[in-house]
Structure 1
Amino acid sequence: MIRICFSGVTGWTASAVVAAIEGSADLVLVSGVSRSAAGKSLAEAVGCAAEGRVYASVAEALAAGPVDVVIDYTSAAAVKQNAFEAVRAGAHVVIGSSGLTAEDYAELDEAARDREVGVIAAGNFSVMAAVLRKAAALAAEHLDRWEIIDYASAGKPDVPSGTARELAETLGAIRRPVPAVPLDELRGPVEARGADVDGTRIHSVRLPSYVVSTEIIFGGAGERLVMQHDAGPDPAPYVAGTLLAVRHVGDAVGVRRGLDSLLFES
């Protein structure tokens, strides 16, 4: 039985994942983390049948009883501290929050290896989003010009989204795209060309009606290849991938990035 602490247990994604945990014979929710619901039982806070309680921090939750895996669906402001607290306590971590940089992951990887625990982090735990990332990586082996458009809700403060950032970092490990007009030769605001992440230009759109959508455009002479993943208004797309990560996060020590690290062979 895998004992789980859910950090962000009163958040948008939690309800669907908690319900799936309760319906799984090999998983059990033993605690939650939420500053707004700290001190309540899980039953009071999220309406589940689990017997555990909600705490104000990951450190408090882990001190209260044994935990095998911490799931983090919080925010860019909280995820780093949560992940390091879990790793230092010897718990495996599944990170569904965006906001960590490549440098943060390198530091976390070192800490996880020191404690001999596993971390799986994905900007998007949707299986379809993982397929998009795999397909884009395959395309980048043969195509040399692309840009990413990152769509999210008007209130999402971190840019680009974790999904778009991870996609750019994946492609950057394959090759850097052929640059367009050099930035110092542009006529107009440089910001119009988006942010550079490992050589890929990412344009972040923040508007109502979007949840998380990621579009990558490959351009060639006289043709384009467009790949896009759109997430709907509920957290259902992220459940299967999150539980897959929970079940396999302990299979390897250190940080693994992206759900595709579990779905596809290297």
Structure 2
Amino acid sequence: MIKVVVAGALGKMGQESCKAIVNAEGMQLAGAVDSRDSGHTIGTYIGKPEVNVTVSGDLEQVIRDVRPDVLVDFTRPGVVQRHIEIAINAGVRPVIGTTGMNAEEIERFVQLASAQRVGGLIAPNFAIGALLMIKFATEAAKFFPHVEIIELHHDQKMDAPSGTAMKTAESIAAVRGHMSQGMPSEFEKIEGVRGGNFEGMRIHSVRLPGFVAHQEVIFGGIGQTLSIRHDSISRESFMPGLILAVRKVMALDHLVYGLENLLFE
């Protein structure tokens, strides 16, 4: 039985994660952590009153009390970093869906996990379709190096661009390198209208109510265009990947960045 603690348990992704873990064969929701309403049971939030797990605001105490195998974290930048350190130092495998960390922070946790021989995962996206989108886009970039990325999320998302957009751009840059696109003399009449520039490709972030998580990668070539798009229309789309990740990290002794490295191994 894999014992799992969820941090950020009262958030939308946290609640969905708790439900998925409760329903998953061979898993136990051993703890729920959230500073917003500690003292109540998580079952009252996820429509499963039989789940008698009390929400706590103290991750370290929960880990000491229940001795979990895995920490699932859907909190926020500025909080997740401390949670990862607590988990790794306690020998608990982190499975991190919180985005907003930079490359230096991720590398620091890779080194820490390696030193402690603790497995874990930091994943910008748990949707299997999104991982396939990144894989297909990376292949396409070998033949269509001119590319722009448009990502669309709900208006409560804190970081921009999304972790998925950054992961896509990094994967594309790995096969095509830096390349200047468009007119060298172009100018913006409104600052930022052309989006952010990563290795010469433009990334555009849309934040509006009604969206969940969506991304389109648009390639341009001579006389043709190619668009690769993925849409998560509900947070349930992330759960099969999350459950897969929880199972996979049990066999790891190091930290992996990107679920695709476990899915396509």
- TM-score normalised by L of structure 1: 0.91
1:192 partner SS:
coil
Relative to structure 1, the CA distance from residue 89 to residue 165 in structure 2 (aligned partners, 3 Å threshold; closer, same or farther) is same
Question: Could you tell me how far 1:40 is from its partner in structure 2?
Answer: 2.8
Q: Distance in 2 between matches of 1:126 and 1:132?
A: 10
Asked whether the equivalents of residues 149 and 217 of structure 2 are also in contact (C-alpha less than 8 Å), the reply is yes
Q: Aligned residue for 1:17?
A: 17
The amino acid that maps onto 1:243 is: I
Once residues 30 and 167 of structure 2 are traced to their aligned partners in structure 1, the CA distance between those partners, rounded to angstroms, is 30
Change (3 A) 1:194 1:139: same
| Deviation, structure 1 residue 182 | 7.1
Residue 251 (structure 1) aligned with residue 247 (structure 2): no
Match of 1:222 in 2: 223
For residues 196 and 10 of structure 2, what CA distance do their matches in structure 1 show? 32
| Residue 22 of structure 1, CA deviation | 1.9
How far did residue 141 of structure 1 move?
A: 2.5
Displacement of 1:183 in angstroms is 6.9
**Structure 1: tracts of 5 or more residues without a match:** none
Q: Secondary structure at the match of 1:191?
A: coil
Secondary structure of 2:204's partner?
strand
Partner of 1:60 in structure 2? 61
Residue 123 of structure 2: aligned partner: 122
How far off its partner does 1:185 sit? 5.9
Pairs aligned (count): 264
Could you tell which deviates more after superposition, 38-47 or 116-125?
38-47
Find the residue that maps to 2:216 and give its secondary structure.
strand
Does the 8 A contact of 2:179 with 2:199 survive in 1?
A: no
Q: 1:203 is aligned with what amino acid?
A: H
CA distance in 2, matches of 1:23, 1:63: 25
Contact 2:97 2:125 (C-alpha < 8 Å) held by counterparts: yes
User: Equivalences for 1:55-204 in 2 at 5 Å?
Assistant: 55-176=56-177, 178-181=179-182, 186=187, 188=189, 191-204=192-205
Shift of 1:102: 1.2
Counterpart contact for 1:39–1:54, Cα < 8 Å = yes
Distance in 1, Cα, partners of 2:209 & 2:46: 27
Tell me, yes or no, if the aligned pair for 1:144 and 1:177 is still in contact at 8 Å.
Answer: no
Could you tell me whether the CA contact under 8 Å between 1:176 and 1:198 is conserved in 2? yes
Q: Is 102-111 or 139-148 further displaced after alignment? A: 139-148
Which residue identity is paired with 1:53?
Answer: T
How many Å apart are 1:130 and its aligned residue?
0.9
Segment drifting more, 255-264 vs 4-13: 255-264
Q: Tell me what 1:43 maps to.
A: 43
Match of 1:238? 238
3-state secondary structure, aligned to 2:17: helix
Counterpart residue type for residue 241 of structure 1? G
| 3-state SS in 2 of match to 1:247 | helix
- The aligned counterpart of 1:213 is 214
- Greater Cα offset, 209-218 or 137-146: 137-146
Mapped to 1, the partners of 2:237 and 2:45 lie a distance apart of: 23
The sequence identity of aligned pairs, in percent, is 32
Bigger Cα displacement from structure 2, 221-230 vs 34-43 = 34-43
Moved more, 251-260 or 174-183: 174-183
Please give the alpha-carbon distance, in whole angstroms, between the structure 2 residues aligned to 1:57 and 1:47: 23
Distance across 2 between alignment mates of 1:200 and 1:250: 37
SS of the equivalent of 2:4 reads strand
Shift of 1:244: 0.1
